């Protein structure tokens, strides 16, 4: 199942829908403005909370967490010592790890578990520059969690580029 994301809307305070490939509303993103730290809530079409995405305030490397039911489900951060491309890892609460690899900046990357692709994130399916799709490839995969991981990676990369641009000025 493919989900359509308009990335320019990933600003804190913006609320918007993520649609499925049929154009139906699948997930609602609620950006929380009045919080001390960056927080997004991901809800299903009926309004049930699927995940809460938070930027960790204190960490050596920029880190985001995905919570469900008040518990951390996934911790997402850039992997250390990668030479050619950005690689992120999403560590599950169980200790298992998902890898996020590919062309992260241009939104052409995969989320993998033990070498098996669970989801592909891609812009190439769309003409609009600020739109990309998250194609959840396995029917038994947790679509909400994979979408939340993609959102985390997107936010972390944007923040990294903002900081890089500040240092160039």
Percent of the chain with pLDDT over 90: 47
- Say whether pLDDT at 138 is over 80: yes
Per-residue pLDDT at 8: 53
pLDDT higher at 130 or 88: 88
pLDDT tens per residue, range 83-115: 556 789 999 999 999 999 988 878 889 999 999
- Say whether pLDDT at 9 is over 90: no
What phi and psi values does residue 122 have, to the nearest 5 degrees?
-150, 145
pLDDT tens per residue, range 27-76: 998 887 655 567 889 999 999 999 999 987 665 678 999 999 999 999 99
Per-residue pLDDT at 91: 96
Contacts of 119 (CB under 8 A, 6+ apart): 110, 111, 134, 135, 136, 137, 141, 146, 150
Q: Report how far residue 52's alpha carbon sits from residue 11's, in angstroms, rounded to the nearest whole number.
A: 15
Element (H, E) at 165: helix 143-168
Per-residue pLDDT at 116: 95
Contacts of 5 (CB under 8 A, 6+ apart): 18, 131, 132, 133, 134, 147, 150, 151
Percent of the chain with pLDDT over 70: 78
Q: Report how far residue 46's alpha carbon sits from residue 41's, in angstroms, rounded to the nearest whole number.
A: 14
Q: Strands, E, within the chain: which ranges?
A: 2-6, 15-20, 25-32, 39-44, 49-55, 63-68, 71-78, 87-92, 97-103, 108-113, 116-122, 131-136
Per-residue pLDDT at 78: 87
Q: Report how far residue 64's alpha carbon sits from residue 157's, in angstroms, rounded to the nearest whole number.
A: 11
User: What is the CB-side half-sphere exposure of residue 162 using CA atoms within 13 A?
Assistant: 7
For residues 146 and 136, the answer to whether their CB atoms sit within 8 Å is yes
pTM of the predicted model as reported, rounded to 2 decimal places: 0.85
């Amino acid at each position: 199942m493919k989900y359509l994301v308009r990335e320019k809307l990933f600003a804190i305070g913006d609320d918007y829908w993520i649609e499925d490939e049929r154009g139906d509303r699948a997930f609602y993103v609620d950006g929380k403005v009045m919080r001390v730290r960056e927080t997004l809530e991901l809800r299903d079409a009926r309004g049930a909370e699927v995940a809460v995405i938070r930027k960790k305030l204190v960490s050596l490397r920029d880190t985001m967490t995905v919570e469900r039911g008040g518990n951390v489900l996934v911790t997402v951060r850039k992997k250390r010592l990668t030479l050619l491309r950005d690689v992120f890892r999403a560590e599950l609460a169980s200790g298992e790890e998902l890898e996020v690899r590919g062309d992260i900046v241009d939104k052409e990357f995969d989320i993998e578990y033990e070498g098996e692709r669970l989801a592909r994130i891609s812009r190439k399916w769309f003409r609009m520059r600020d739109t990309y799709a998250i194609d959840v490839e396995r029917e038994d995969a947790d679509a909400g969690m994979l979408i939340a991981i993609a959102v985390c990676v997107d936010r972390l990369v944007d923040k990294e580029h903002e900081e890089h641009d500040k240092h160039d000025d």
